[in-house]
Amino acid sequence: MEILYLLCSIISSSFTSLILSLLLPFQALLRRLGTSRAASSSTNGGAEPISLYEGTVWHQRRHPVIHSFKYQVRYALIDLDRESHAPPGHISSDEARQLTDTDGPILLLTIPPSVGYEQNPLSVYYCYDVEGSSTRLKKCIAEVTNTPWGERVSFIFNPHSDLVAKALHVSPFMDMLGSWNIKANDPGENLSISISVHHPEHGNYFTASLKAKKLCSSSEPDHAVFFWLMPHKVAVWIYWHAIKLWWKNVRFVQHPRYATPTYKEEALIRDKKLQCCGFSDDTRHLQEGGSDQVCLAEVSPRNRRFKWTDAEWPWS
């Protein structure tokens, strides 16, 4: 059934994207004319609420085979307080502040939909605290969407470095054991995010990273043209390399909802253990060798606020 849904999505999305792509030059021309008129009749300056980034995504697997690839990617960094509303499928700046207990700006890093299609394996909210006349990046919220199951999980993490229990079946060639070691810098002229998978048997066997540079505001192109087919290219890379892993005889892992329906609850338990047994900044005073029961009793772990939702099909 999932294969049938996938094929129907590919056919419908391809047809829709073709039609909208043919209309894109005319829409871009109308936007350019509208922007020119607005600029000539306005004397107010100010930076744009959206910054454009261009860079590279890199994946490397070291078990059971060595397999790596990279591709060019384009992202938008959106100031949610300066946008009239949050992009469809994302939370607002007020909701992000409430979740992370912050009081400063909220920036969203995401790949916008293009010609009727959206593919966003990872979106990140950067949540700041106001300290005097400056701001400090305090927390981040990750939104991880898998493919082709149309599921999404969101959680809070420490951008400086954090270890989070794996909470979503993101690949048919990975089991649900282990954790994500995630780190993100304060986005400026350069932006970077790194995620590595720590597995109890295979160790640190998978790494993914994003490194991107901010485009100069004076050279920013039309956004619809800039992101044309970007989500489609991401999807092609994901499926193509899934085929390559299958060809290399990497074991296919069934979605845990069939074999372990309680995988979400198990992820919550594993995350609490991670936070209270030496991996969390809040629990460094604990000595090694203590039981999980003592650990959980003595420490109140940070609430990551894991939230599982269904992503819209075909995610646009």
Domain definitions of the chain by residue range:
48-310
Q: Model-level pTM?
A: 0.87
- How many CB atoms are closer than 10 A to CB 141? 24
Peptide bond into 231 cis (omega under 30): no
Q: What is the pLDDT along the chain (316 residues), one digit of tens a residue?
A: 666 766 777 788 888 888 988 888 888 788 777 665 544 444 444 557 999 999 999 999 999 999 999 999 999 999 999 987 778 889 999 999 999 999 999 999 999 999 988 889 999 999 999 999 999 999 999 999 997 888 999 999 999 999 999 999 999 999 999 999 999 999 999 999 999 999 999 999 999 999 999 998 766 678 999 999 999 999 999 999 999 999 999 999 999 999 899 999 999 999 988 887 744 433 333 333 444 433 433 334 567 889 999 887 654 4
- End-to-end Cα, the chain, rounded Å: 21
Give the whole-angstrom CA distance, residue 256 versus residue 216. 44
CA atoms within 13 A on the CB side of 171: 20
Sign of the dihedral defined by the CA atoms of residues 183, 194, 251, 261, in that order: positive
* Cβ contact 299:274 at 8 Å: no
Give the whole-angstrom CA distance, residue 114 versus residue 124. 19
Q: Which of 165, 166, 127 is nearest to 146 (CA)?
A: 166
Q: Which distant-in-sequence residues (6+ apart) come within 8 Å of 281 by Cβ?
A: 158
Sign of the dihedral defined by the CA atoms of residues 158, 284, 198, 213, in that order: positive
